[in-house]
Amino acid sequence: MTSIPENLAKIAPILDKYLTPLLIWLSSLVYERLIPSNSDHLLIAVDKLVDFSTLEEACASYHKQNGNGRPVEHTVPNLLRAILLKYLYDLSLRELEAKIQYDIAAKWFVGYPVFANAPDHSTLSRFETYLIFNHPRLFFDTVLEGIDAAFPDERNRPQIGDTFAMHANAASESLIKRLRHSAQELLLAYHETVPQAYEKLLSSIDMDALFGNGDEKTECYLSTEQRWERLLHAVAGVLDCLVFIKAAKTTIAPSVEQWIARLEKILADELRLEWDENGRLSEISYLSENKRGTYRICSATDPDATIRNHGPKKVDFGYNISVAATINFIREIQADTGSRPDAAPIPELIASQMENHDVCPDKFIYDQAAGYGKTVNQVEKATDGKTRLVAKPMPSKRKKGRFSPDDFILSEDGFSLTCPNGRVSHRKYKSGSGDGHNFRYIAAQCQLCPLLMQCRGNDKQPTTKKDTFISDYRTEWNQLREYSKTEEFKLDMSLRPQIERIISGLVLHNGARRAHFRGSVKVDFQAKMNATAYNLKRWVSLLAGKLLAGKATKKRRRFSAPPPQQRGSSLSKHDLSLSKGEVGLQTA
């Protein structure tokens, strides 16, 4: 309690006895006056909608009583509401601490008296970490269950899907920086687990290769030759470090194994290493663009983040966030590394809904990125055929003036293929990708064929075989193509723009553009909390619309221009200036 001034020392015993109850009473009086008169405030509406008892029950084991038997200062109900407050207003932990301390509505929502102290940002951070690794879906699932109870029809609506980029909480690093940084993290992990062997490691490797020296230039100022020399030096240092740790007769901890795997992946994805007969490194060269590895690590600060490439001007370093939603609410959201293809998580999005909410949409509408027979097949397997994937079919690769695999007819039993000229091949081989078969036409079958130019690209008599790839998912692709010709497909695709509105809401107003964490587990938690905030705001908005139903509401116009004039009439300069003034005021 605040120390009592000297001029009130005479009544100190009375203040000691009654000041705290008086402050509590005054706090309740403030809340009683303010809360009912601000029923349209977001936090007051959310307090009525969310079943916090479910959340509190799930996290009841977080706190234990202190040794002296007194309860903890910041209870689980307080901390749960504080974390939800953070994502409703897209706050950092320090901003959250300040908002609870100085904002009366926030303090009431979290559950503190007006004159109480807010929890420290470190206290909030520890609880958020607990939620990430113990209850990552708790808020999202609880709010969605409340939405289903309030809007039962939402469970049965068709769903729309799409992805967006969440920028990593890290910067992309050059290959030299990446190797050095990863090696430094490896050394730190090795020091924590095997400190004695770490001392031997330091004496056996070139530390300048991994840490540089105080006199070396910044990499951007190096010439091409100097940069190459530094890369060779760094690679040699990394390899020496890996050889020593693997050869040491010590148990390798999981953290050390993880950084070893990351370093080996960086080397394998970016460089070609050649060795001589004695096992020594003899040559190093860059891999060409088409031979580089997939899901390449681009930063040791956040190794889970990768490049999301959606075109020349849409290259983002971070995570690919997949969203499944109705026209009103987000039903599922998932964070994947940036390089993962857009359509790959679709079966997981639907399966997660089936597991957590017993919801399986009749239709799942997506863009052309999902227009492959393989994706259709995966969705059918994940849902036992209950969900139809609606997407524009991805056209087969076709060179100008040439036939594509679609021009070849596959027999019903799948054992023969007929070319556009009616010649049949029974030679069937499994393709290297494993997603189909190659049907082979030998040179003799193509002799004197009038369609050689369209088929082979050369009208000369053939002397080599021709392989035609037929996907195992051709039937499913044909289903997509046939459905895309129907009027029902057009109605389904008219819902597609709604997902852009939802993603805009997530990115612009709910903090989903930039990751606040590092690592896919934490970023996935953030994405689900961003979606929770979006769903709550949408829930409040829809209920407010119901309450206003039947009442005269003010029409909103994006631009308030002067009304059009009738023919033959004209505006004076004075009228025009007044109209512009009115437009400016109304627009402002």
Say yes or no: 214 and 284 in one domain.
yes
Classify residue 54: in a domain, yes or no: yes
Residues 31 and 117 in one domain: yes
Where helices occur in 472-511 by DSSP H, the ranges are 474-483, 487-493, 497-509
Separation CA 118–CA 123 (nearest Å): 10
What is the per-residue burial (b if ≥16 Cβ within 10 Å, else e) of 142-175? bbbebbbeebeebbebbbbbbbbbbebbbebbeb
Residue 535 and residue 144 in contact, taking contact as beta carbons nearer than 8 Å: yes
Residue 132 pLDDT > 90, yes or no?
yes
pLDDT at 313: 78
Distance CA 527, CA 512 (A): 6
pTM as predicted:
0.85
Q: What percent of the chain lies above the pLDDT cut of 90?
A: 63
In tens, the pLDDT along 203-216 reads 888 888 899 887 88
Q: How far apart are CA 587 and CA 558, in angstroms?
A: 8
Between these two residues, 30 and 385, which has the higher pLDDT value?
A: 385
Q: What's the average model confidence in pLDDT over 330-354?
A: 96
Residue 578: pLDDT above 60? no
Domain count, the chain: 3
Domain boundary residue, one of 291, 319, 346: 291
Same domain, 44 and 98: yes
Residue 500 lies in a domain: no
pLDDT for the residue numbered 583? 36
Looking at every residue in the chain, the average pLDDT score rounds to: 87
Cβ atoms of residues 455 and 420 within 8 Å:
yes
Average pLDDT, stretch 439-455? 91
Print the SS3 string covering 50-83. CCHHHHHHHCCCCCCCCCCCCCCCCCHHHHHHHH
Cβ-based burial of 501 (10 A; exposed 0-12, middle 13-18, buried ≥19): exposed
303 has pLDDT over 90 = yes
Q: Name 85's Cβ contacts closer than 8 Å, sequence gap at least 6.
A: 43, 91, 96, 99, 100, 106, 109, 110
The encoded tokens of residue 365 equal 């509408």
Judge if 282 and 202 occupy the same domain.
yes
Is the per-residue pLDDT at 1 higher than 70?
A: no
**44/123 same-domain check:** yes
Report how far residue 381's alpha carbon sits from residue 389's, in angstroms, rounded to the nearest whole number: 12
Residue 32: C-alpha distances to residues 25, 29, 35, 279, 546 (Å):
10, 5, 6, 79, 26
Q: What is the pLDDT of residues 279-292, one digit of tens each?
A: 777 788 999 988 89
Residues 212 and 277 in one domain: yes
Sign of CA dihedral 111, 117, 121, 123: negative
What element of type H or E holds 125? helix 121-134
Integer CA distances (angstroms), 246 to 127, 184, 249, in order: 38, 16, 8
CA–CA distance, 354 with 184 (Å, rounded to integer): 43
Say which range, 23-27, 125-129, 240-244, 448-452, has the weakest mean pLDDT. Answer: 23-27
379 pLDDT more than 50: yes
Q: What is the mean pLDDT of residues 98-118?
A: 90
Whether residue 328 lies inside any domain: the answer is: no
What's the per-residue H, E or C state across 330-347?
EEEEEEEECCCCCCCCHH
Q: What is the pLDDT of residue 569?
A: 45
Residue 577: its pLDDT value, please?
A: 40
Identify whether residues 126 and 195 lie together within a single domain. no
Inside any domain, residue 116: yes
Q: Which of 377, 379, 334 is nearest to 163 (CA)?
A: 334
In this structure, the answer to whether residues 34 and 109 fall within a common structural domain is yes
Q: Is the pLDDT of residue 346 over 80?
A: yes
Q: What is the pLDDT of residue 27?
A: 73
Structural domain including 95 reads 22-135
Q: Which of 263, 291, 319 is the last residue of a domain?
A: 291
Q: Identify the pLDDT of residue 325.
A: 97
Residues 120 and 210 in one domain: no
Same domain, 131 and 29: yes
Answer whether residue 82 is part of any domain: yes
Mean pLDDT computed over 195-222 = 88
For residues 318 and 574, the model is more confident at: 318
112 & 199 share domain:
no
Q: Do 180 and 234 form a contact (C-beta atoms < 8 A)?
A: yes
User: Could you tell me if residue 543 is inside a domain?
Assistant: no
In whole angstroms, give the CA distance from residue 286 to residue 272. 6
Element at 104 (helix H, strand E): helix 104-110
Q: Indicate if the pLDDT at residue 570 is higher than 50.
A: no
Residue at 271 is within a domain: yes
**Given pLDDT bands bounded at 50, 70 and 90, which one contains residue 395?**
confident
Q: What is the pLDDT of residue 556?
A: 54
**Percent of the chain scored above 70 by pLDDT?**
88
For residue 6, pLDDT beyond 90: no
| 97 closest CA partner among 108, 105, 85, 88 | 85
Question: What confidence score (pLDDT) does residue 298 get?
Answer: 95
439: confidence class by pLDDT, cuts 50, 70, 90: very high
At which of 291, 309, 342 does a domain end?
A: 291
**Which residues does residue 437 pair with via DSSP β-bridges, in sequence order?**
430, 470
Task: With cut-offs at 50, 70 and 90, classify the pLDDT of residue 91.
Answer: very high
- Separation between Cα atoms, residue 20 and residue 334, nearest integer Å: 47
Residue 544 domain flag? no
Segments in 427-572 forming alpha helices (H): 452-456, 474-483, 487-493, 497-509, 520-547
- pLDDT band of residue 560 (cuts 50, 70, 90) is very low
| Same-domain status, 72 and 180 | no
What is the structure's pLDDT at 38?
Answer: 81
The 10 Å Cβ neighbour count of residue 472 is 17
**Which residue has better confidence, 562 or 534?**
534
Query: Cα(509)–Cα(537) distance, rounded to whole angstroms?
Result: 10
552 or 16, higher pLDDT: 16
